[in-house]
């Protein structure tokens, strides 16, 4: 019996629907990379991302400048101490040379020549007088210069101290700005326990609304994870602005040099699960090449991480915090908590699904 067009269409639709059902149950890494236009798939708002970017970058730069001023001041203090010791030695040398000249009644060169009994005596007497005079003058010049350097160093110490205090004030203001941004966005913001490098979470923040979540496996002894190498800084210690100029090995997009460095250092430290960085979005760090999402599971994003996957995410989040200064970290988000420079771990409830709640991946944003 021949198949009519209508029956053929129905049969084809049935096959396609069945195939779609089968394929939808097959997980894969592609699920870890949200498609273009998924601007808020990780939760949060454009205003929150903008405020956190400005506040945490400002905090990082102020802290770096304060640390640079502190180091310079420490160097100057050591220089001052050495100068003071040098001055004491030189003053004693000047006194000794003056006393020796007085005791020996050393004449000027013309008198030494007139009193010489022979040519060799004359040469020797004149040479001795000039040598002692030159030595004393050099000592006096050295003393004057050292005193001048000491005065300049003390002024520099005062200047560096003023810079340090100014930057420390800025740090406090930017820290408050970041915490206010969390409160304004109504995503939590209260202090939380964070995570440890041995794979445990210190507590379950109040913002989760669920205290019965699966905990990671029992702590075991692990070898020490290597530290990251530092990303380049400017002369004042701060991080410069960078464009999205490097190929992103996790996508067809781009990364800033600092983000690529962070990605490479993370893998070198042994965190090799699936990761996806650049993606198109209307806001946030991903479209700027300044953020990466590190899956807790080896092969990609899925449901909320448990067991070994949860422990992996805990260790990775803790590692990012431990290496924040070296990598230029803006913030880290993992399992309903966010880490901000200066503020530490805070509760962060940005959505209910695993991606928005960050329970299936660790989000890293780099300055």
Rounded distance, CA 361 to CA 367, Å? 20
Q: How far is CA 353 from the centre of its chain?
A: 30
Is residue 122 over pLDDT 90? no
Residues of the chain above pLDDT 70, percent: 73
Contact 277, 285 (CB under 8 A): no
> Comparing 140 with 124, which gets the higher pLDDT?
140
Least confident of 48-62, 99-113, 211-225, 265-279: 211-225
What would the mean pLDDT of 86-111 be, rounded to a whole number? Answer: 69
Rounded distance, CA 254 to CA 291, Å? 11
- Residue 311 has what DSSP assignment? H
**Is residue 25 packed enough to be buried (19+ CB in 10 Å), middle (13-18) or exposed (0-12)?**
exposed
Dihedral pair phi/psi, residue 127, rounded to 5°: -60, -40
Place of tokens 């210190």: 202
Task: Take residue 164 and report the two structure tokens written for it.
Answer: 């340090």
Contact 287, 34 (CB under 8 A): no
> Comparing 17 with 237, which gets the higher pLDDT?
237
3-state secondary structure of 323: coil
Contact 225, 295 (CB under 8 A): no
**Is residue 122 packed enough to be buried (19+ CB in 10 Å), middle (13-18) or exposed (0-12)?**
middle
Task: Take residue 76 and report the two structure tokens written for it.
Answer: 């100057």
Helix (H) or strand (E) holding 199: none
Task: Take residue 89 and report the two structure tokens written for it.
Answer: 């030695």
> Which string of b and e fits 177-193 if b means at least 16 CB within 10 Å?
bbbebbeebebbbebbe
Residues of the chain above pLDDT 90, percent: 46
pLDDT band at 281; cut points 50, 70, 90: confident
For the chain, the structural domain boundaries read 68-172, 187-210+239-367
User: If you classify domain 187-210+239-367 with CATH, what class do you get?
Assistant: alpha beta
- ∠ CA 298-301-305 to the nearest 5 degrees? 75
What would the mean pLDDT of 291-296 be, rounded to a whole number? Answer: 97
Mean pLDDT of the chain: 79
Task: Take residue 245 and report the two structure tokens written for it.
Answer: 């100029």
Rounded distance, CA 36 to CA 278, Å? 10
Contact 51, 181 (CB under 8 A): yes
Distances (CA, A) of 259 to 40, 63, 188, 329: 21, 20, 27, 9
Helix (H) or strand (E) holding 112: helix 109-114
Nearest Cα to Cα of residue 255 among 359, 366, 331, 343: 366
3-state secondary structure of 4: coil
Q: Dump the DSSP string for 10-35.
A: HHHHHHHHHHHHHHHT---GGGGSPP
Q: pLDDT tens digit string along 12-57?
A: 333 333 333 333 333 344 344 443 333 346 778 889 989 999 999 9
């Amino acid at each position: 019996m021949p198949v009519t067009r209508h029956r053929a269409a129905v049969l084809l639709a049935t096959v396609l629907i069945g195939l779609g059902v089968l394929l939808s149950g097959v997980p894969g890494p592609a699920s870890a990379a949200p498609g273009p236009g998924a601007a808020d798939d990780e939760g949060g708002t454009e205003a929150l991302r903008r405020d956190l970017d400005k506040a945490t970058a400002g905090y990082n730069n102020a802290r770096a400048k304060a640390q640079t001023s502190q180091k310079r001041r420490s160097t100057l203090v050591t220089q001052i101490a050495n100068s003071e010791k040098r001055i004491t030695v030189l003053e004693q040398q000047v006194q000794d040379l003056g006393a020796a000249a007085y005791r020996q009644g050393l004449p000027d060169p013309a008198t030494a020549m007139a009193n010489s009994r022979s040519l060799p005596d004359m040469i020797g007497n004149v040479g001795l007088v000039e040598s002692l005079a030159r030595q004393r003058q050099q000592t006096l010049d050295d003393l004057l210069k050292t005193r001048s350097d000491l005065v300049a160093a003390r002024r520099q110490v005062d200047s560096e101290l003023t810079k340090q205090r100014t930057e420390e004030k800025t740090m406090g203001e930017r820290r408050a700005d970041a915490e206010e941004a969390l409160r304004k966005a109504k995503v939590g913001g209260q202090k939380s326990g964070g995570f440890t490098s041995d794979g445990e979470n210190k507590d379950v923040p109040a913002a989760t609304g669920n205290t019965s979540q699966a905990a990671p496996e029992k702590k075991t002894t692990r070898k020490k994870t290597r530290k990251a190498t530092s990303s380049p800084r400017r002369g004042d210690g701060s991080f410069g602005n960078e464009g999205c100029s490097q190929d992103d090995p996790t996508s067809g997009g781009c990364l800033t040099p600092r983000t690529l460095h962070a990605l490479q250092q993370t893998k070198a430290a042994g965190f090799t699960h699936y990761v996806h960085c650049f993606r198109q979005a209307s806001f946030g760090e991903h479209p700027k090449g300044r953020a990466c999402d590190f899956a807790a599971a080896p092969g990609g994003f899925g449901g909320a991480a448990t067991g070994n996957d949860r422990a992996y995410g805990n260790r990775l989040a803790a590692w990012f915090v431990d290496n924040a200064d070296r990598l230029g970290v803006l913030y880290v988000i993992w399992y309903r908590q966010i880490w901000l420079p200066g503020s530490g771990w805070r509760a962060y409830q940005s959505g209910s699904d695993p991606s928005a709640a960050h329970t299936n991946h660790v989000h890293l944003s780099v300055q």
